[in-house]
Structure 1
Amino acid sequence: MIDNEEKKLRWYNLAFMAFVMVFGFGNVVNNFANQGLEVIVSWILILALYFIPYALMVGELGSVFKDSKAGVSSWIGNTMGRRLAYFAGWTYWVVHIPYLAQKPQYVLVALGWVFKGDGTFYSSMNPLVAQLISLAIFLFFLWIASRGMNSLKKIGTIAGTATFVMGILYILLMLGAPFIRGIHPATTDVSVHTVMPKFNFMYLTTISMLVFAVGGSEKISPYVNNTKNPSKEFPLGMILLAIMVGVTAILGSVAMGMMFDANNIPKDLMMNGQYYAFKLLGQYYGIGNVLMIIYAIANVLAQVSALIFSIDAPLKVLLADTDDEFVPKGLTVVNKHGAPIRGYLMTAILVGILIIVPALGIGNMNELFNWLLRLNAVVMPLRYLWVFLAYIAIKKAVGKYDSQYKFIKNHTIGLIVGVWCFAFTAFACIFGMVPSGIPVYTSGWWFQLILNVITPFILIGLGFILPIIARRKKKRA
C-alpha cells in the first residue's frame, strides 16, 4: 500500500496523462473522413455512452488488482482462470499485428510529404512494391528492437508529444483563421440536417473507428491507486478526460469542416489528411510548408517509436504472466539484450503475411491504406472485450473483491453496464467488417470483406495452437 504522502497524482494530473495516451489528431481526421460533420454528434454519443463507463471500469479493475503484472490478462487470470488469462494475453498481443503492418505505411506517407511536399510519393507506387518496402522497414525496426535499443522510444515520446501539441495548435489556428486571415469556411451547408447522423446501415459500419479512437484506457490502470483520494479523484479525472477528448474532437471536427467540404470529402483524407491540414494552414498564415514539414518529421519519429514499442510491449504482456501449459518455454527465450527473439520471429511471420497478401488483391494504394486502417478499427477493439469480461466477473462475484475505488457499488447495475460495453464493442467490430468507401459487390469489395471477416478469426484462432505445442513439449520433457 502506498502511503498517502506518496500519492501525489491529482485528478487533473491523471486526466492530462490519460489524454496524451488515449487521443491524437489522427483520430479527428480519420473520423471526419468517415462521417463528415455528422461525427460531431457521434463524438458526444460515444463519449457519454461508451468512453466514460469504459474508463471508470478500468479504474475499478486497476484498483482491485493493483499488483497485477500483465494488466488485462492478470485481471482475467484472477477472475476467470489461467486458460482464459492466456487467451486475453494472446488477444492483446495478436491484435497488434495489423497495427504493426500499417506503421511502415505511415512512415512512407510522412517521408513522402517531407521530401516531395505532397502525397504522390506513396500513392503513385505499385501496391506490391510499396508493401515490399513496408516489409523491409518493419524487419529493419524489428532488428533494432531485438537489440534492445530504447533510445528511439524516448525520441518517439518527445515526437509523439510534439504531434499532439501541433494537433491542438491546428485546431486553434484553424478556428481563428476566418477572423485573423479572412478565410471562408469550405463547408457552407451547416445545419441540424448535416450534423445529425443518419442511423442507417452504412453509419453502423463507421462506429468501430470511433471505438478504436477512444480505446486504450487500460493503460492508465496502474495509476489509480497513486491518486490522492482514488474514490473521489479518479472519477473526476476521467470526467475531465472525457470533456477534454470531447472538446478536442468536436472543435477539431469543426476545424476540419472549415478547411474541407464535408459534403465532398477527398478520398485520400485518411491517408493524407493530417498533412493536407498543415500544408493548407501554412498557406493561410503565409509560412508555406513549414508546419507540414515539422509535423511530418515529428510523425515519422513518433510512428517509428510506436512501431518498436508495439513490437516489444504486447509480446511481453503475453509472456509476462503465463506458464508453460499454454506457451512453449522456447517462446520465452531471450537474447543477450533481453528480447524474446522467437516471439519476434512469430511476429515477423504474421506481420509479413498481412503486409503482402492484401497487396495481391487491392490494386490502389489509397484503398490499401484505408482498408488496413479500417481493419485495425475492427481488430484492435477485440482486446477491450476482455476488460469488460473482467469487470463483469468482479460484479458477479459479490463481496469477493474490494478496492479503494468503485465505479458502481450496486453489483446488478455494474453488471448491466459491463454487458452493455461488451455488446457495443462486439457490435461495432462486426459491422466494421463491412467495407466502405468503394463500390459495393465489386470484386474489390468482396476481397476486402473476406479479409475483414477471416483475419480476426485467424489471428484469434492461432492462439489455440500454442497450448497444443506447449503440452506436447511438456510430455516430451
Structure 2
Amino acid sequence: MSDKAVNLSLVKLVIIIATTVYSFTSMSNAFYLMSYAAIPWYILAGILFFIPYALIVSEYTGNFKNQSGGIYSWIVNSTSPRVAFMTVFLWYSSYTIWMASLFMKFWIPLSILFFGEDRTTSSRLVLGIPQIRWLGLGSLVAVALVALLISRGFTTISHFMLLGGVFILILFGIAAISNLFVLIHNNFTFSQPFQGMHSLLAAQNPTYQGLFGNLGFFIFGITAFGGLDTVASLVDKTGTGKNKFPKAILIATFVIAGTYLSGIFLWGASANWHTLFANKDVSLGNAMYFLMQNLGEQVGQISGLSADKAALVGQVYLRITGLALFWAYVGLLVTISYAPLKAIIEGTPKSYWPKALTRKNKHNIVRNAVWVQAVLIIGLVLLVSFGNAKATSLYNNLTLMTNVSRSIPYLIVALSFPLFRRKRSTYELLTESQVPWASGTVSVSIVAAIIFTVIQPITQARYLDSFFLIIGPIAFSLIALWLYRQFQKKISANLAGISNHRS
C-alpha cells in the first residue's frame, strides 16, 4: 500500500504543530527559574522571535507545500544550492547528535510512571551490570523501534505525533483545571503571592536577576519556542492538509503562546516558589514532576482527604505526568528522527547520494537511510553508555559543538526570507514593509542568543566549553562545504561521461 500522504484535518494539524513546539517541561522550568517574572520575557520572545518566525515559516510552507526538502527547499529557492546544503547539513547534524541524548532520557518518564522516581541516574548494579549500561541497552532498543515505526510510513508517523500531542494536551488540561480548582477554593489567593508589576519584573531566583541573568532567561524563552521548522518540513506529507498548513501554523502560534503564559501564571495557584523549590533535589530535569506531585497533593487536601490519601493523589498526578511525557517523547523522537533526514535525503538532488540511500520502500520512506541513521545514533549511545570517561567527554564536546550550530539554520532562514520575497512568492502573509521587520527581529534575537551562549561559559571560567561552541559551526560548515564540492565533482564527472558516450 502506498503511503505518500496522509490527509490531516485543520484540528489535527494544529495539535501536531502546537505540541511539537510547546513543551510542558519548558513551561514548568520557566516557573522554576523565574516564577511570574518569566511571563514578560516569554511575551518578548514571542513578539521578537516566535510570531515573526511563524509568519516566515508559514509563508515558506504556503509556497513550497509540494516540495519535500523543508529548510533545503526554502533556502535553495532564496540563495544558492551551496548555502542550502550547508544549512541543511548543519541542521541535520545537530539533530542527529542531540537525538542520542534524547534516547537516553527516553526512559526517565517511564521510570517515574512505574516507580514514582527517576532511577535512571542510580549508581546501583542490576545483575552485576551498572545502571548506565542497562539504560544504554534500553536506548538501543528504542532507536531500533523508532526506526521500525518510521519505516512503516507517514501514516504511522502521524499517528504517533498526534498521540503524543493529545497526551500533552491532556496533561496541560489536568494542570490548568487543577490549579484553577485550587485557586477558586482558596478564594483566588495564590500560593505564590502575585503583586502585580513587582512580581512580573522581580525574579525570585537570584541567579536570574540583573541584566545578564535576564538576558539568560530571554534566551531560554527563545529556545522554548523552537522546533516550528521541523514539523513544517512535513507539509508535503499532509495530503489535502497542505493547503491548511500555513493557517494551522498561525493558529498553533497563538495556542502555544497562550498555553505557555497561562500555564506559568497558574502554577502560582498551587506552588509557593520558596517552599517548593527549597528542596535541593529540584532541578531543571525534574521541576515539572515536583510541581505536579505538589498539585495533586493540594487537590487531595482541599477535597477533604487524609494526609496519606492526599499523598496518594500526588503520586497519581506524578505518574500521569510520567505517562504523558513518555508518549510525548515517542512523538518527538519519531518526528525529529524523520523530518531532518527526509529534508537532507529527499530535498537535495538524488545524484548527491548512493542509490541505496534514496531508494524508497512501499510506504514511500527512504528505509535504508532510516536504518543508516539508526546505526549512527546507536554508535553515539554506545559511546556514552559503554565508553570510558574520555568517550563520554567526546560526546559532551560534540553536543556543545551542536548547540550554536542548531541555531544557525534558523538565522539563515530569517536572513534569506527577504531574498526569497524578491525572487518569487505566490503565497504572502506579510506586506513588503513588514518583511524587513520579521527578518530583522528574528535575526537579531538569534544572534543575541548565539552571543550569550558563547559568552556565558566564559563568565564561569569554562573557556574550553566556549571554544567548542565556537568551533562547532565552523567544523560542521567545513565538512558540509567539502561534501558539497565532492557532490559537484561527482555530477561533473557524470555529465562528462554522458557527453563522451554521446560523442
- What TM-score, normalized to structure 2? 0.74
Distance 1:92-1:15 versus aligned 2 partners, 3 A rule: same
1:189-247 Cα offsets, whole Å, 9 max, x none, are 745234226561232233332222212333347399968998xx967x66654443333
**Alpha-carbon offset, residue 281 of structure 1:** 2.1
Q: How many residues align?
A: 450
Residues 417-468 of structure 1: CA deviation (Å, up to 9, x unaligned): 31331232132133134558xx9636xx455544544445444544334335
Partner in structure 2 of residue 295 of structure 1: 321
TM alignment of 1:2-41, pairs within 5 A: 18-41=17-40
Evaluate the alpha carbon distance shift between residue 28 and residue 457 of structure 1 in structure 2; reply closer, same or farther with a 3 A threshold. farther
1:271 maps to 2:285: yes
Check the 8 A contact 2:100/2:378 in 1, yes or no.
no
1:54 maps to which residue?
A: 53
Q: Using the alignment, how far apart are the partners of 1:251 and 1:18 within structure 2?
A: 19
Change (3 A) 1:306 1:52: closer
Q: Which moved more, 1:349-358 or 1:63-72?
A: 349-358
Alpha-carbon distance in structure 1 between the residues aligned to 2:250 and 2:73: 26
Deviations 1:158-198 (A, max 9, x none): 24411332123202211321333789744347452342265
* Corresponding position: 1:166 with 2:200: no
After superposition, give the CA deviation of every residue in 1:298-342 in whole Å (9 maximum; x if it has no partner): 322331343244223321211002236654556546789823133
Question: Are 1:463 and 2:480 matched, yes or no?
Answer: yes
Q: Is the 8 A contact 1:319 1:332 kept in 2?
A: yes
Q: 2:349 aligns with which of 311, 317, 323?
A: 323
The corresponding residue for 2:336 is 310
Q: In the alignment, which of 264, 267, 284 is matched to residue 253 of structure 1?
A: 264
Quote the RMSD (CA, aligned, Å): 4.3
Q: How far does residue 52 in structure 1 lie from its aligned partner after superposition?
A: 1.4
Q: How do residues 114-153 of structure 1 correspond to structure 2 at under 5 angstroms?
A: 114-119=113-118, 121-125=119-123, 132-147=133-148, 148=151
User: Are 2:164 and 2:330, in contact at CA under 8 Å, matched by a contact in 1?
Assistant: no
C-alpha separation in 1, matches of 2:449 and 2:376: 29
Residue 100, structure 1, aligned to residue 117, structure 2: no
Q: Shift in Å at residue 358 of structure 1?
A: 11
1:215/1:384 contact within 8 Å kept: no
Aligned to 1:409: 431
Find the counterpart in structure 2 of residue 3 from structure 1: none
Match of 2:368 in 1: 339
CA distance in 2, matches of 1:63, 1:144: 33
Task: Name the aligned partner's letter for residue 467 of structure 1.
Answer: Y
CA distance in 2 between counterparts of 1:460 and 1:50 reads 25
- Whole-Å Cα distance in 2 between the matches of residues 361 and 8 of structure 1? 43
What is the alpha-carbon distance in structure 2 between the residues aligned to residue 78 and residue 99 of structure 1? 28
2:271–2:295 CA contact under 8 A, matched in 1:
no
Matches within 5 A, 1:185-204: 185-188=190-193, 190-196=195-201, 200-204=211-215
* Separation of aligned partners in 2, 1:205 and 1:123: 27
Q: Rg: which structure is higher? A: 2
Structure 1 residues 166 and 9, CA gap change in structure 2 (3 angstroms): closer
Cα distance in 1 between the residues matched to 2:87 and 2:191 = 46
Instruction: Spell out the pairing of 1:396-475 with structure 2 (5 A cutoff).
Output: 397=422, 400-403=423-426, 405-410=427-432, 413-434=434-455, 441=460, 445-446=462-463, 448-467=465-484, 470=487
Distance across 2 between alignment mates of 1:100 and 1:90: 15
Could you tell me which runs of 5 or more consecutive residues in structure 1 were left unpaired when the two chains were aligned: 1-6
Change in 2 beyond 3 A, CA 1:52/1:183: closer
State the TM-score, normalizing by the size of structure 1: 0.77
SS in 1 for 2:441: helix
Distance 1:153 1:461, change over 3 A: farther
* Greater alpha carbon shift after TM alignment, 252-261 vs 273-282: 252-261
Closer/same/farther in 2, CA of residues 453 and 323 from structure 1, 3 Å limit: same
Name the SS of the counterpart of 2:59 in structure 1.
Answer: helix
Indicate if the aligned counterparts of 1:146 and 1:344 stay in contact, CA closer than 8 A: yes
Q: Look up the SS of the partner of 1:319 in the other structure.
A: helix
Aligned residue type for 1:278: M
Distance apart, 1:353 and its partner CA: 5.2
User: 2:414, 2:443 within 8 Å by CA — same for their partners in 1?
Assistant: yes
